[in-house]
A and B are shown apart, each in its own frame.
Chain A
Amino acid sequence: MTSREKILAAVKKNQPELAPMAEYIQPERAEDLVAKFAIVLDGIGGKAVMVQRMEEIRQHLQEHWLGKGRIVSMVPELRDLGEQPSEVDPHQFENVELAILPAHFAVAENSAVWVTEELLQQRVLPFITQNLAVIVRRERLVATMHHAYELIGNGDYGFGTFIAGPSKTADIEQSLVLGAHGSKSMTVFLL
């Protein structure tokens, strides 16, 4: 008998009688999602910037990041701000100072943005970069994680991740430090 068979047999023998599963329905609440998103992001060490046009994002990024180091830009309208990786070794992104990424949508209750491999090209990009800028359209802002998974649905991706703020740790005496291994800062532009 293989371990697989052994485990499955033991589980089958020991599992309780099939139990139903409760359905959870999230109550809808009237909320200012943009304000909520900005407050929550601020609370976890990130920064939300409200903009009307893509041009404002360009100006903001140029002002803050131009000349500071290597920039990778995955936003089609902002390609000129940095390079676009093709299929290369992920280790080559080690010295990226800023990654500019589009997100599928964002969640107000926890200020997370959802990105998948197709937007990133390289999975490691949002983690290895020293700083992160993400662009989300305001109409793609949802209230809670329940709404988020409705949007994701049966979507196919090899890798997808929710990112909520800069990388952080509080492992040393519960003192919050931003920039544990991943990005030290996160700016989200709500367009």
Chain B
Amino acid sequence: MKNHAQLSQEFNANEPRVNWHDETLWWVRQKRDKAANTLPEWEQLREAASSIKYHTLSNLNDYLQQFEANAEQNGVTVHWAADAKEHNEIVHRILAAEGVNRIVKSKSMLTEECHLNPYLAEKGIDVIDTDLGERIVQLADEPPSHIVLPCIHKKKEEIGELFHEHLGTAKGEADPQVLTAAARVHLREKFLTRRAAITGVNFAIAETGEFVVCTNEGNADMGAHLADVHIACMGIEKLIPQRRHLSIYLRLLARSATGQPVTTYSSHFRRPRAGQQMHIVLVDNGRSTQLGREEFRNSLKCIRCGACMNTCPVYRRSGGHSYHTAIAGPIGAILAPNLDMKQYADLPFASTLCGSCSNVCPVKIDIHDQLYKWRQVLMKDGQGGAAKGLSMKAMNFTLSSPGVYRTAGKAGRWFLRNVPFVVNNPLNPWYKQRDMPEAPKQSFGEWYQQNRKK
């Protein structure tokens, strides 16, 4: 299993491509800035959004039951899944009961997290992802690399090649307009012929039992309104107390995500349409554990806008797949260790702690502070290995003793050997693409001793 540093190194083998990836996402970040700046009240909205989410988390037990009761009253069947496995089983059970073996699915990062597609495939159920970006990565047999822009890592020529192979477009055709038109025709046939549709959930309202799904393409609606069975899968943290609170989140979500004033469609599902079945699967999968981790519970405020990825200077230059988890980028790096500390111990280190992620976050998650805190938790848990612990102890020994530090420093021996970024040795990663600072004749301490000390 390769870690983030190794996967990033591979991504960086093609520098022009890294430049392209970086510029594309930076452009999205700039659109976000422009959109945010159209609202003088932007920072107050973020504050309110953060506060409402925290309040919801502090009363989640009640809100979940309120939501359940209202949804059931609306004629929706509510299911509870403790983990990914149970989520997948519930979805399969619903489909099997209806004898459905071909379905459409709109974007849901939760189903990515639960690995629903491979599970259903094993059970003989064909899943078509209908979000264009997700369909593209599905055809390429890859996971999405970004939660909002799933195929942001792919060039149009590569997509053209995939479409030529799978959808029969002309060889060499790479015009986004033409490719999108081909996908429209291809997916319309799926919408019209599939009897069940899965969607994600952006917000669920405790007070009314309704849920809101936001898309630009209209694929969630096309799937849901044409299907006999609609299954909406949501993490338990998607709740908000009241319908009116949507105003705050819908103002923030698309502006943060893509710089649009709102997504094209913000659809409020409250009751199944006549003759239709509607199911909601409420999924925990580690969320209640994260809720109990005081330092990390704010991560559950996330509304999945992707702004932290677009602004992250590391993400832009390492690509989403380097995070080897369903949700990439800074937010993914604080969510993933909750699921598996060992497997994702590298992710909180995939950051310079520059803090840009926390600043763009529409719900003010202290992302970079949580990255720092995860580092402490992971190393205390022994995830750094014994060698790292020992070298840190040695560093601490020297740095806590002025005498040792001065003797070590004077000869330049200790620093050159122990402070990782200055080891003057071609095998040291610093030296590969950077030169060393020139060693001065005397340290500041020595200069001071000579020039100021009476």
Residues of A within 8 A of B (CB): 2-4, 6-8, 10-24, 26-27, 40, 44, 87, 90-91, 94, 107, 109-112, 117, 122-124, 127-128, 144-146, 148-150, 152, 154, 157-175, 177, 179-183
**Cα of A18 to Cα of B62 in the assembled complex, Å:** 11
Please name the residue on chain A nearest to B49 by beta carbon: A24
Whether A2 and B267, one on each chain, are in contact in the complex, defined by CB atoms closer than 8 angstroms, is no
B308 at interface by CB-CB < 8 Å? no
Q: Which chain B residues (124-141) contact chain A, with CB distance < 8 Å? A: 130-133, 136
Q: Which chain B residues (6-63) contact chain A, with CB distance < 8 Å? A: 24, 27-28, 40-41, 44-45, 47-48, 51-52, 54-55, 57-61
Contact A161 B236, CB 8 Å, known A123-B225, A146-B247, A177-B180: no
Known contacts A159-B269, A164-B260, then 17 further A-B pairs from the complex at CB < 8 Å, ordered by chain A residue: A10-B288, A14-B292, A15-B58, A15-B60, A44-B261, A128-B226, A157-B268, A161-B267, A163-B264, A163-B265, A164-B261, A166-B264, A169-B180, A170-B216, A172-B159, A173-B155, A174-B149
Contacts of A13 in B (CB 8 A): 292
What is the CB-to-nearest-CB distance from A118 to chain B, in angstroms, rounded to a whole number?
12
Whether A18 and B59, one on each chain, are in contact in the complex, defined by CB atoms closer than 8 angstroms, is yes
Contacts of A107 in B (CB 8 A): 262
Contact A124 B263, CB 8 Å, known A19-B55, A171-B149, A173-B156: no
**Cα of A121 to Cα of B257 in the assembled complex, Å:** 32
Whether A15 and B291, one on each chain, are in contact in the complex, defined by CB atoms closer than 8 angstroms, is yes
B109 at interface by CB-CB < 8 Å? no
Whether A24 and B45, one on each chain, are in contact in the complex, defined by CB atoms closer than 8 angstroms, is yes
Q: Which of B61, B80, B132, B270 is the one whose CB lies under 8 Å from A171?
A: B132
| Interface-facing stretch out of B184-192, B345-353, B407-415 | B184-192
B243 at interface by CB-CB < 8 Å? yes
Contacts of B156 in A (CB 8 A): 172-173, 175
Q: Number of B residues whose C-beta is below 8 Å from A? A: 90
Whether A117 and B273, one on each chain, are in contact in the complex, defined by CB atoms closer than 8 angstroms, is yes
Q: Which of B41, B64, B149, B294 is the one whose CB lies under 8 Å from A16?
A: B294
Contacts of A181 in B (CB 8 A): 130, 184, 187-188, 191, 217-219, 222
| Most central of A112, A123, A158 by chain B CB within 10 Å | A158
Whether A174 and B24, one on each chain, are in contact in the complex, defined by CB atoms closer than 8 angstroms, is yes
Contacts of A146 in B (CB 8 A): 244, 247-248
**Cα of A165 to Cα of B265 in the assembled complex, Å:** 9
**Cα of A150 to Cα of B154 in the assembled complex, Å:** 42
Q: Which chain B residues (54-76) contact chain A, with CB distance < 8 Å? A: 54-55, 57-61, 64-65
What is the CB-to-nearest-CB distance from B408 to chain A, in angstroms, rounded to a whole number?
46
Contacts of B225 in A (CB 8 A): 90, 122-124, 127-128
Q: Which of A110, A124, A163 is the one whose CB lies under 8 Å from B226?
A: A124
Whether B264 and A164, one on each chain, are in contact in the complex, defined by CB atoms closer than 8 angstroms, is yes
Whether A162 and B247, one on each chain, are in contact in the complex, defined by CB atoms closer than 8 angstroms, is no
Please name the residue on chain B nearest to A145 by beta carbon: B247
Whether A8 and B65, one on each chain, are in contact in the complex, defined by CB atoms closer than 8 angstroms, is yes
